[in-house]
Structure 1
Amino acid sequence: MHARSRVAWTVRRALRSADAAICPRSGRPYPAPIASAIRRSYATEAAQQNYRLVIGQPTPETHPHLLKAGELTRGIQGSEYFERRRKLAQALPDGGVAIFQAASLKYRSGPVFYEFHQDPDFFYLTGFLEPDAVGVVEKTGPNGEHIFHLFVRPKDEHSEAWEGPRSGIEGAYEVFGADNAGDFEHFQSHLEPIIRRAEVVFTDISAKPDGLKQTLVGLLAKFKGETQPIERPQPLKPRIHLLRSFKSFAEITNMRSAGRISGRAFNEAMERRWKSESDLWAFLEYQFRMGGCEKSAYVPVVGGGDNALKIHYTRNDKLLKDGDFVLVDAGGSYGGYVTDITRTWPVNGKFTDPQKDLYEVVLGVQRKCVGLCREDAKMSLDELHGIAEEELMVGLRSLGFNISLRDLTRTLFPHHLGHYVGIDVHDVSSYGRALKLKTGQCVTIEP
């Protein structure tokens, strides 16, 4: 460990031993969090120090063209990640422990792997972009006081020669603000004292053979009855998704950047004529990245003619025909936050009269529903969906279509009007569409 890091670590340990809270379960003191004045070391501080700590993702020091001072990930300050964990701790009951796991690298075949995508909840709470890690928020007080444990892959010279830098345990402390850090491969020994202190454990880790979930269940059974029963793990996702459903100013700024870049790409695409779905697809993905997005938010739908009615059509391999509509459902990702845009336009750039009439019906429904996306309208996504169905029926009948609600919902409008959007395209899946929309939430409106 670098001398400066060793000094900082020693100071942290000394502060933990002073004024430590007492665990109600064991009667022993918690390893108390670092004093708030100096407890966190983020990418900003690492960038300002005289030594260079290379980690497994961009920092303001290594990528000043991407991250500003203080940002742990693009657009998001390290202090905001701490505040998210504090709010989660505040939402836990006394003695509550939240355990969340990073995604693992998935392989197509042999050594060929898929693009890595971090678990959204893990990303939201840590900003850590590497695979194979476990985070723990251990509540120690009523106002969000907590201990943040982070178990990661250690530095490994051989692996890093092939894959690039890892953050390692030092990075977990110095950049990601962990109060306690350790080797992911030995998480069971790290978890034992945490579970022993816990009153209730919250996690969404799946029960795979030899997986972390089974380890947790085994530890709970091991310690059950030592002083009082410990419950089986409780779902964590609803508590995190409630927090994630309300976006901060920084999150909204990232989403606006994704939307602005993606919107410009759509506008440029509409100005050109395209021979195939594939050509249009390639152009949009190129424009997303060239405009500043890291990647596409999801595999886009580019459907000409009848393919436009196939909601999740992603082959995107047919020729586009003169006189047809083309539907595009696509968007870019900026700083880990996505946009979801669906637009339809004539392949040849000119509306026929019937196409224009249909387009204006759908556009009118969209504008009306967007206008109701405000807190004082007291509307939920489900209620907005009902309004969209009614308005589409009225509009289509005004054009002479003899259509029933059954025909509409089975053929023309089988999908839901909208969904939450944020880190995920279909964000916060456990947060219901029947709940009234509130200020700070972000949704799509796609009739």
Structure 2
Amino acid sequence: MRHQALDSKLFIDNRAKLTSLLPKNSLAVVNANDVLPTNADGSLKLVPNADLFYLSGIEQEESILMLYPDAFEPKNREVLFLREPTELLQIWEGTKLTQERATEISGIPTVKWLKDFPLALRDAMLSADEVFLNSNEHRRAAVTVETRDERFVEQCKRDYPLHTYRRLAPLLHKLRAVKSDLEVDLIKKAIEITDKGFHRLLHFLKPGVTEFEIEAELIHEYTRNRGAFAYTPIVASGKNACGLHYIDNDQVCQDGDLVLVDTGSNYGNYNSDLTRTVPVNGKFTKRQRDVYDAVLRVMRASIAGAVVGKAHRDWQHEAQLMMNDELLGLGLITKEQIAEHTREKPACKKYFMHGLGHPMGLDVHDVAPLDAPFAPGWVLTVEPGIYLPDEGFAVRLENDILITEDGPVDLMKDIPVEADHIESIMQEATAAR
């Protein structure tokens, strides 16, 4: 793992929160993600299963966590199963977790090898009344590839057809939406790394550089600070920024254009998510500045409006109403169009067609109950934008915030966002070249 060792208290507390929600005499099992193949004998780097990491801190392939809080033997109430680090395995794949190291990371005293899992599972299944199994229930997930968890569900149903099975995901979504202080600290660390990357970008950007060179500057800064891309970055100059998920990042940044950079580092598997739109030559035109300031006003007002008890859909609608007024002032829509505005067909949709923000944490688009209002401990992105393909540019701005009882906290307040501040940094960099 690239990050520094994390406090096992985080995972101990998370397991306690989950077991408090389980009915009496229930069993829960969570599997690691698959190592996915590429071509020939290649494979992708493992992406840790967010739920397994949340409950154990373990980032190793094929790992399994079994929780049985009411097991008769205390040693069987939390059991972690790992690949046995044989000499041959470690020659070919490198160091693997020992049982002792896995206990240090997770706080789980009982760590066994995978060969012990079938018998341990059978023993637990024959005693438990209900069995909670996991699956990816993110509402925007494209579930086209069968996961280890899904294969395990099918195996359990075949081997133990008379058991009562229940969904673990709703419980984990409820818990993961509310970040603990330790989790917020990890998100802040990821944001700190992202801030360094953005400053590096501002000092590097000038007419003639390519979008992929900007991407290279970002990953340089993230990597040297123990981070990594939280997601594939968007580096979109000129009209490219009007494609919401443009990731080719292969064009030259032209003098007079804006470049929209949507990027974030992660740290310890917790993510950040930043968007800034900056002038390639270090100076906004008047039209660019007018649009930029309009988006910034909506972002700041939306941050202030993200309060405890508010429903996400109402927060989104408030932003749309504000955006209507901004677009009117920019000459992009009319009063007549605003008068016809509805939640289903907002007047601003042609120019602001996406969501205002999303929960963030172990996943960039993190899990949370759909119908739950904002609560203390939620971390959200706030990302309004205006897209003008006919004018050859777009502006999107995005900060990450923490919901608290005392109001929203902007976790990215120290990252430059005012147009004057960005211009000043870029002009100083130009003078120093």
Q: Is the 8 A contact 2:197 2:218 kept in 1?
A: yes
Q: Is the 8 A contact 1:301 1:313 kept in 2?
A: yes
Distance 1:131 1:409 in 2: 46
Displacement of 1:371 after TM fit?
1.1
Structure-2 residue corresponding to 1:438: 375
Structure-1 residue corresponding to 2:241: 308
Structure-1 residue corresponding to 2:63: 133
Structure-2 residue corresponding to 1:281: 215
Higher RCO (C-alpha under 8 Å, 6+ residues apart): 2
SS at match of 2:126: helix
RMSD over aligned Cα atoms: 2.4
Structure 1: state its 5+ residue gaps. 1-56, 59-65, 68-72, 225-229
Q: Which amino acid counterpart does residue 175 of structure 2 have in structure 1?
A: L
Q: Is the 8 A contact 2:357 2:380 kept in 1?
A: yes
Q: Which amino acid counterpart does residue 444 of structure 1 have in structure 2?
A: T
1:52-71, aligned counterparts within 5 Å?
67=4
Structure-2 residue corresponding to 1:337: 270
After superposition, the Cα gap between the structure-2 partners of 1:427 and 1:174, relative to the gap in structure 1 and judged at 3 Å, is closer
Q: Deviations over 1:325-375 (max 9, x none)?
A: 111110101121110001111111111111111111000000001112232
Q: Is the 8 A contact 1:277 1:302 kept in 2?
A: yes
1:102-141, aligned counterparts within 5 Å?
102-140=32-70
Displacement of 1:126 after TM fit?
0.6
1:209-248, aligned counterparts within 5 Å?
211-221=151-161, 224=162, 230-231=163-164, 233-248=165-180
1:166-315, aligned counterparts within 5 Å?
166-173=96-103, 176-185=106-115, 187-205=117-135, 211-221=151-161, 224=162, 230-231=163-164, 233-274=165-206, 275-290=209-224, 292-315=225-248
Q: Is the 8 A contact 2:200 2:217 kept in 1?
A: no
TM-score, normalised to structure 2's length? 0.78
Q: Is the 8 A contact 2:190 2:265 kept in 1?
A: yes
Structure-2 residue corresponding to 1:351: 284
Q: Is the 8 A contact 1:195 1:219 kept in 2?
A: no
Displacement of 1:270 after TM fit?
2.2
Q: Which amino acid counterpart does residue 289 of structure 1 have in structure 2?
A: T
Aligned length: 362
Q: Which amino acid counterpart does residue 339 of structure 1 have in structure 2?
A: S
Q: Deviations over 1:363-401 (max 9, x none)?
A: 0000001112232xx323222211111111101101222
Distance 2:294 2:281 in 1: 21
Q: Is the 8 A contact 1:147 1:179 kept in 2?
A: no
Q: Is the 8 A contact 2:99 2:111 kept in 1?
A: yes
Q: Does 1:398 align with 2:329?
A: yes
Q: Which has the larger radius of gyration?
A: 1
Structure-1 residue corresponding to 2:361: 422
Displacement of 1:188 after TM fit?
2.4
Q: Is the 8 A contact 1:89 1:146 kept in 2?
A: no
Structure-1 residue corresponding to 2:16: 86
Distance 1:139 1:308 in 2: 51
Alignment match of 1:154 (pick from 70, 79, 84): 84
Structure-2 residue corresponding to 1:49: none
Displacement of 1:209 after TM fit?
11
Q: Deviations over 1:21-70 (max 9, x none)?
A: xxxxxxxxxxxxxxxxxxxxxxxxxxxxxxxxxxxx58xxxxxxx64xxx
Q: Which amino acid counterpart does residue 368 of structure 1 have in structure 2?
A: A
Displacement of 1:264 after TM fit?
2.7
Structure-2 residue corresponding to 1:320: 253
Work out the percentage of aligned pairs sharing the same amino acid. 28
Distance 1:248 1:177 in 2: 17
Distance 1:416 1:385 in 2: 7
Q: Is the 8 A contact 2:34 2:148 kept in 1?
A: no
